[in-house]
Amino acid sequence: MSTQDSEFRARLTSVKDDVMTGVSFMIPFVTVGGIFLAVAYAYASLPGGATVETVFDSPGEVSWFLAQMGTAGLTIMVPILGAYIAYAIADRPGLAPGFLLSWIIQQGVVLQESSQVLGLPGGNAAAGYLGALIAGLLAGYVARWFKQREVPSFLEPMMPVLIIPVATVAVLLPVMLFVIGVPVAIANAELNSLLSGMQGTQALVLGLILGAMMAFDMGGPVNKVAYLFAVGLVSQQIYGPMAAVMLAGMTPPIGMALSNVIASRKYPEEMYEQAKSGFIMGLSFITEGAIPYAASDPGRVIPSLMAGSATAGGLAMFIGVEMPAPHGGIFVAPLADPIWGFLLALGVGSLVTAAIVTLLKPDHVADPGSSTESGTETTTAD
């Protein structure tokens, strides 16, 4: 491998790690906002008081207060993503620029004025999480560049709290408003319009793709891309992809646990304990519960997981299942609409995973004389 290739891979890994830092800080905001909004809708569906349709137009109602908290979480989550991506790159000097630049391009009125300046037909649309991701990366790199400049000693105390944040925002504000914000907002609006109208085969294909992505690396970058895509749409009140992603993330541990129980001869005895926790982790939407199985036999397990998750995601989208909560698994199942579709997709996806992996895996044969328990068991490819 050449030095240039090594440097490129290192830079790519660094960018991935920075983005994952932003995602990890964003998730609690997503969870709080999504669950409070979902509970607000659930409360509004009870007799008396506000209705689901009027929950935001009924000040003073319990559901209205819950919805305000939910909306706050889902609104703030996008600039939090940009803020902590910048923080991962430049530390404290990047935090405020990352947040503010991500925030300003979520203001539809601002971007509408920017589009008029450019002569583009932009509407009142936000740049979404994709815009925040770009803002966070740019803010981080620019802030880090300023941070590395040599300055007189009397200016050093002011650098992280005043000079670097202000200079970073000043440099990047026109870029975000006129170069990045408007085109991303236009693309985001078109995407939301397309997703809102998806039905039948189109919805099925999207669900299959999102489902397969969730199981591909179980918590890794591909999984996070699918999850972030769905979460970004929750703030736009598009809940179908979130249902598909949640179900696709639940099926891998459950499917592997089912296979381990019904075909225990194919697994080492010590994996039986993993099966017990696998059910709980799967029901809790913790996809990583399937990683021990995938690590021991990736060539057979990962395709099985992807097939089951794609089935769950595709079926959910085809039925039209919606999930306003971005996390919680079975504990937020009552918020799914329709709940029978949520449970059906979960059951079918888990069974598909269990059936395929059980057919593909050979019987486990312990061999004390070997460095691995079974030569066939640990093969990474057929």
Exposure class string for 196-229: b at 16+ Cβ within 10 A, else e: eebeeeebbebbbbbbbbbbbbbbeeebbbbbbb
Q: Is residue 312's pLDDT more than 70? A: yes
The pLDDT value recorded for residue 372 is 42
Burial class (CB in 10 A: 0-12, 13-18, 19+), 193: exposed
The pLDDT value recorded for residue 330 is 86
Q: How confident is the model at residue 382 (pLDDT cuts 50, 70, 90)?
A: very low
With CA atoms as reference, report the closest residue to 227 among 131, 323, 351, 350: 323
Kindly state the percentage of the chain with pLDDT values over 70: 89
Q: Is residue 248's pLDDT more than 80? A: yes
Q: How confident is the model at residue 345 (pLDDT cuts 50, 70, 90)?
A: very high
381 - beta bridge partners? none
Contact 363, 265 (CB under 8 A): yes
Q: Which residue has the tokens 């790199």?
A: 141
Mind listing the pLDDT tens digit for each residue in 324-339? 887 778 888 888 889 9
Q: Is residue 288's pLDDT more than 70? A: yes
Mean pLDDT across 120-140: 82
- Tell me which of 49-58, 126-135, 181-190, 318-327 is least confident: 49-58
With CA atoms as reference, report the closest residue to 352 among 252, 206, 234, 268: 252
CA–CA dist 317, 303 (Å, integer): 21
The pLDDT value recorded for residue 316 is 94
Q: Is residue 302's pLDDT more than 80? A: yes
Question: What is the SS3 assignment for 218?
Answer: coil
- Tell me which of 50-64, 242-256, 346-360 is least confident: 50-64
DSSP secondary structure, 56-109, as one string: GG-TTSHHHHHHHHHHHHHHHHHHHHHHHHHHHHHSHHHHHHHHHHHHHTT-HH
Q: What are phi and psi of 59, to 5 degrees?
A: -55, 140
Q: Is residue 146's pLDDT more than 60? A: yes
The mean pLDDT value of the chain amounts to 83
Mean pLDDT across 308-337: 88
Q: How confident is the model at residue 366 (pLDDT cuts 50, 70, 90)?
A: low
Mean pLDDT across 272-291: 82
With CA atoms as reference, report the closest residue to 32 among 332, 381, 353, 333: 332
